[in-house]
Amino acid sequence: MWKRNLWPIQTFVIPHSHMDVGWVYTIQESMHAYAANVYTSVTEELSKAEDRRFIAVEQEFFRLWWDTAATDSHKRKVRQLVKEGRLEFIIGGQVMHDEAVTDLDDEILQMTEGHGFLYETFGVRPQFSWHVDPFGASATTPVLFALAGFDAHLISRIDYDLKDTMQKNKKLQFVWRGSPSLKEKQQIFTHVMDQFSYCTPSYVPFSNSSGFYWNGVALFPDPPKDGVYPNMSVPVTKETVHAYAKTMVENIKQRAAWFRTNHVLWPWGCDKQFYNSSVQFNNMDPLMKYINQNSKDFGVTVQYATLGEYFQAIHQSDLVWELRGSEDFLPYSTEPHQAWTGFYASRNVLKGVARRASAQLHAAETLFTRYRISFPDGPVAKDWALDKLRALRWAVSEVQHHDGITGTESPKVADMYLQHLLQAMMGVEELLAALFLLPHNLDQHVIVYNPLAWNTTTIINFTVTFPTAAVFDDDGQPVPAQIQRSAQSNATYDLFIVVELGGLQQRKYLIKFSEKECSGTLKCGWTYEAKGVLFERLNVRDWLKTGRRLLPVLNQCYKLMFDQDTNLLTLSIDRYRYKRRVRMTQDFWEYHANGDVKAGPISDNYIFSANGSAVRAYEAVAMEIIPGKIVTEIRQLFFREEGDQDYAFSITTRVPECFGSRLPCHRLEQTYSLGPLRLNTEVVLRTSSSLENNKTLYTDDNGYQMMKRTHRKFANNTVARNYFPMVRTAYIEDELSRLVLVSDRAHGVSSQADGQLEVMLHRRLWNNLAWNLGYNLTLNDSSVVRPTLWMMLGSVSATAGLYQREAIELQHRPVKEPKERSPLRSVVLPPNLHLLSLSIPGWNYSSNHSVHLSNDMRSEPDYDRVLLRIMHLFEEGEDPELSKPVTINLKDVLRGIGEVKVLEERSLTGTRDITSLQRWKWKTADNLETSENDLSCGGDAFTVTISPKEIRTFFVHFASRNF
């Protein structure tokens, strides 16, 4: 404390504007109303005074301004300001991504796209994060930022009661070891913003206006023609300067009491600020001058600063920092009745399309990369192809925004995201069609491409209009298949085909259709025509006795029992590897939300506030079973009222029949249909089992790592505060067994009772809160949603080796194209490694930083540099074999693509040479030396060792042509 008395508090005033890439207004509306003005006016104002600073965060807005609005004069000034360090790019991603419901692949993508643009254009590489607005903080994010070469991480939104405790104990800064496997290798210094968060305090006691926001409030759709915005603050004059200074200093001192050093981060700005920055700086300049002239009396000095200058000062303080392990800051609550756990399930359709677009992008990237290497002068125009890929990269990146994939935006903004995604997906469909050449005869040729670097045997399905089909492979041999009447329509049929594919390999299948049913096995090939068995529709009120009439559905892994007294799945047994009998039921329940703010807490886009316990969402159940030789399908229809003609919910469970023992039998594939929901209901799939999990569950952080979620009791809102995000995986377990679900999109998940796993699938809400009505954020979502979950049940050890791969296989299912082209050689990685990326980024820059800085920026795209990422899927100690480090020779692994000539290891986003990356060291109690530059290479330049949970990134150059 003696330092604080001897030295004044050093205040770093950081000018910034928080600009949501879609929220209430579309990106186009925001650009027109204020966002373009931010960069135009800030560029001009920074150029007028050397001490002024600004941090630029969301690259989508900056790039739009740079490409469409900035003049040559603005661009020259920006380059100079960046060179001088007075305009600092923070995070550098396309958006400030959400941390709860985003997938690892997409977080990396959006950051890579932004970093590539910044490095190509300015030669800069962001070093710091500014994650001020995501609704909770994942432990994966600091790991990714460390892998990208960041030196410090900043977050803000964490549980209100936890933040209060950390403030009082001066624990808002720590070194975070986000991965339990990588530990100190990828630790990062983390700063949690205090209770004022990222906005300047808007209250000043002598004014009814907006405090330190002299430029007022942004106007939509058009800025005022006279340049005068409403709610302008009282100007800083000789008469008001002391009152402003007193208010500012009091706030600075209040903040200083919560931190260990004499340095205070004072964010100056908030949402949609600095579009009229001359007014801002012309008021703050004299105010800061006045405080510094009277610093002895105030005990405070102030200076404009970038975030980097603040962190540099903290780093130089040379303190020993506390450690935080791999726990995250989820879920997030702002007060007892405001648990921000509803957005885990808001806008299910958008969440699903975003993930589907991401999977399509991954497949197209790998295919185009292979095409470029094999046919550099082929007929598919490289610039056209890159344009198609970039459009989808940017659409997928954009929707990762913390008011995008979260579902917390207005309906017109959700429509904008969907339009951008679907339009870009159509463009990539055109690219895929060009990469798969056109067919040459009338029979349907289907190309099936495996986008994963693993061999796979799986079932693919098509909706067709003919009742009979025979399927043959590219050698003319019959392929196991099954055809049956579709669940969606009586006029169509579902065709299931067993496909065997090598890693990154495609195969051609010929489908011959007929309008007549088969009369003999030769004509049908190996196609089985499955017929359904309908069961009586049963009313819940008639369920007097259950479990008397159990109908078994068996495969080599499970014995599923369907109760003919209820039409529900009642129990499951893993038959061969595992003899334990596990009781299980599965059905739909719903929470009823309050819509009147005068009656109590409400639910909305963000918040889940359970108005009592969940109740059964249906009164009757119908069932149909279609026994098959490829797959047995169970269709359960749930009717909201006994007399309803149309079902409200359904579960379609596909049980693979392990044809020839080649199919994986351990996963049960379930697809659901929900909606339209009744207003103010939130519907969950409840799986109740005999597992003794003590209401403890495990959910994933961004598909990267599993987090233990222990049930906690609260004075208020216990149900909602025990919901957690499930991006790919959730499971419950006891000493013997584990029940796993993997998903094709994000959901909310909880364990509200012993043995229970509850997934929130859909929400439809309306309330009369003025703020929600004014911004149209009540989530009156009347859509029908059709998410997919795969379920596995077995011993803890057996499922530990499966669920990571299953989650990835669900995300990256084979791509089906009705076209034809020559086969590709397979590329196969060991089972514990995943090919995270194989793409041609197109950025044009030298791998040598000094050479890059001396060259002209942003010239023609580079089509020869391939970006490769490989990830180890397992944690240390998770599996006796699969958790071991893996040594591979990348030249051998990639031989099926082409001859590798050059291999360079890079940081996560590719902009840094890993051999010269020197991240800041931070002192900790255990004083472990970090070893992020330990490359674990083998005896030659192409052999690498990948340790548990490592993600290693490379630039690969192939020989000019693959002969």
At 245-271, the pLDDT tens digits run: 999 999 999 999 999 999 999 999 999
Residues forming beta bridges with residue 814, ordered by sequence position: none
- The DSSP code sequence of 822-852 is ---------TTEEEEEEE-------SSHHHH
For 575-615, write each residue's pLDDT tens digit.
Answer: 555 567 788 899 999 999 999 999 999 999 999 998 789 99
566 alpha carbon, distance to own chain's centre? 38
Residues forming beta bridges with residue 905, ordered by sequence position: 954
List the alpha helices (DSSP H) in 504-658. Answer: 521-524
Query: CB within 8 A of 217, min separation 6: which ones?
Result: 210, 229, 230, 231, 272
For 543-574, write each residue's pLDDT tens digit.
Answer: 888 778 888 888 888 888 898 999 998 766 65
More confident residue, 240 or 937: 240
Q: What is the pLDDT of residue 846?
A: 84
The identity of residue 130, as a single letter, is W
Q: Are 826 and 455 in contact (CB under 8 A)?
A: yes
More confident residue, 444 or 734: 734
Does 179 have pLDDT greater than 70?
yes
CA dist 289 and 910 (Å) reads: 42
Q: Is 292 exposed, middle or buried (0-12, 13-18, 19+ CB in 10 A)?
A: middle
What mean pLDDT, rounded, does the chain reach? Answer: 92
Instruction: Say which CATH topology domain 9-91+126-329 has.
Output: 7-stranded beta/alpha barrel (3.20.110)
Q: Report residue 55 as tokens.
A: 């941090």
Q: What is the pLDDT of residue 858?
A: 61
How many helices, marked H, and strands, marked E, lie in the chain? 22, 44
Single out the residue of 930, 909, 934 nearest to residue 920, CA to CA: 930
Single out the residue of 349, 203, 388 nearest to residue 762, CA to CA: 349
More confident residue, 561 or 51: 51
Q: Report residue 474 as tokens.
A: 């590219």
Strand segments (E) across 331-410:
333-335, 338-339
**Which of 10-19, 227-236, 289-298, 588-597 bottoms out in mean pLDDT, i.e. has the lowest?**
227-236
Q: Are 731 and 740 in contact (CB under 8 A)?
A: yes
The identity of residue 418, as a single letter, is L
In degrees, rounded to 5, the angle at the alpha carbon of residue 717 between the alpha carbons of residues 712 and 720 is 75
Mean pLDDT of 907-915: 96
792 alpha carbon, distance to own chain's centre? 23
Question: So where are the chain's domains?
Answer: 9-91+126-329, 534-810, 830-962
Distances (CA, A) of 787 to 101, 647, 674, 781, 802: 15, 17, 9, 15, 21
Single out the residue of 861, 864, 850, 915 nearest to residue 117, CA to CA: 861
- The DSSP code sequence of 899-959 is -EEEEEEE-TTS-SBGGG--PPP--BTT-PPP-TT---B-SSTTEEEE-TT-EEEEEEEE-
Mean pLDDT of 19-40: 96
Q: Are 112 and 865 in contact (CB under 8 A)?
A: no
pTM of the model: 0.95
What CATH number belongs to 534-810?
Answer: 2.70.98.30
Q: Is 173 exposed, middle or buried (0-12, 13-18, 19+ CB in 10 A)?
A: buried
* CB-side neighbour CA atoms (13 Å) of 467: 10
Q: What is the pLDDT of residue 439?
A: 42
Single out the residue of 794, 795, 800 nearest to residue 881, CA to CA: 800
Q: Report residue 247 as tokens.
A: 């208010």
Q: What is the pLDDT of residue 495?
A: 95
Residues composing the chain: 963
List the alpha helices (DSSP H) in 202-275. Answer: 241-256
Single out the residue of 883, 890, 870 nearest to residue 943, CA to CA: 890
Q: What is the pLDDT of residue 709?
A: 98
Q: Are 122 and 852 in contact (CB under 8 A)?
A: no
Q: Report residue 27 as tokens.
A: 């990106």
Q: Report residue 390 as tokens.
A: 């970039």
Q: What percent of the chain has pLDDT over 70?
A: 94
Query: CB within 8 A of 963, min separation 6: which ones?
Result: none
**Which of 222-236, 276-290, 598-612, 890-904 bottoms out in mean pLDDT, i.e. has the lowest?**
222-236
CA dist 743 and 687 (Å) reads: 15
Other CB atoms within 10 Å distance of the CB of residue 21: 28
Mean pLDDT of 498-527: 80
Does 2 have pLDDT greater than 50?
no
Q: Write the Ramachandran bin of 475: left for phi over 0, alpha for psi from -120 to 50, otherwise beta.
A: alpha
Mean pLDDT of 437-464: 80
Residues forming beta bridges with residue 748, ordered by sequence position: 725, 760
Q: What is the pLDDT of residue 962?
A: 41
Mean pLDDT of 511-533: 76
Q: Report residue 26 as tokens.
A: 């579309």
619 alpha carbon, distance to own chain's centre? 36
Burial 799-822 (b: 16+ CB within 10 A, else e): bbbbbbbbbbbbbbbbbbbebbbe
Mean pLDDT of 834-854: 90
Single out the residue of 304, 285, 275, 266 nearest to residue 215, CA to CA: 275
More confident residue, 851 or 766: 766
Asked, as a colleague might, if the bond just before 221 is cis with ω within 30 of 0, I would say: yes
- DSSP tag of 33: I
Torsion of CA 82, 87, 93, 98, to 10 degrees: 170
CA dist 445 and 490 (Å) reads: 25
CA dist 329 and 324 (Å) reads: 11
CA dist 459 and 495 (Å) reads: 10
Does 55 have pLDDT greater than 90?
yes
Mean pLDDT of 206-213: 86
Q: What is the pLDDT of residue 163?
A: 97
Handedness of CA 872, 877, 878, 883 (dihedral sign): positive
Pick the catalytic residue from 133, 194, 494, 701. 133
793 alpha carbon, distance to own chain's centre? 26
Distances (CA, A) of 427 to 433, 462, 814, 841: 10, 22, 19, 17
Q: Report residue 849 as tokens.
A: 């930083």
List the alpha helices (DSSP H) in 410-537. Answer: 411-435, 521-524
Q: Are 435 and 368 in contact (CB under 8 A)?
A: yes
Asked, as a colleague might, if the bond just before 676 is cis with ω within 30 of 0, I would say: yes
Q: Is 542 a catalytic residue?
A: no
Considering the four listed CATH numbers 3.40.50.410, 2.60.40.1360, 1.10.3210.10, 3.20.20.80, the one that applies to the domain covering 830-962 is: 2.60.40.1360
In degrees, rounded to 5, the angle at the alpha carbon of residue 141 between the alpha carbons of residues 140 and 144 is 90
Q: Are 558 and 580 in contact (CB under 8 A)?
A: no
Other CB atoms within 10 Å distance of the CB of residue 320: 11
Mean pLDDT of 62-74: 97
Residues forming beta bridges with residue 333, ordered by sequence position: 339
Other CB atoms within 10 Å distance of the CB of residue 11: 27
Other CB atoms within 10 Å distance of the CB of residue 66: 18
Mean pLDDT of 220-246: 91
Q: Report residue 610 as tokens.
A: 């359970």
Mean pLDDT of 358-375: 95
More confident residue, 850 or 946: 946
Mean pLDDT of 534-545: 91
Query: CB within 8 A of 161, min separation 6: which ones?
Result: 333
Q: Report residue 687 as tokens.
A: 């799986």
231 alpha carbon, distance to own chain's centre? 37
In degrees, rounded to 5, the angle at the alpha carbon of residue 557 between the alpha carbons of residues 556 and 561 is 100
For 381-408, write each residue's pLDDT tens digit.
Answer: 999 999 999 999 999 999 999 999 999 9
Give the 3-state secondary structure percentages of the chain, helix then strand then coil, rounded to 5: 25, 30, 45
CA dist 112 and 953 (Å) reads: 12
In degrees, rounded to 5, the angle at the alpha carbon of residue 881 between the alpha carbons of residues 880 and 883 is 80
Q: Quickly state the pLDDT bin for 316 (edges 50, 70, 90).
A: very high
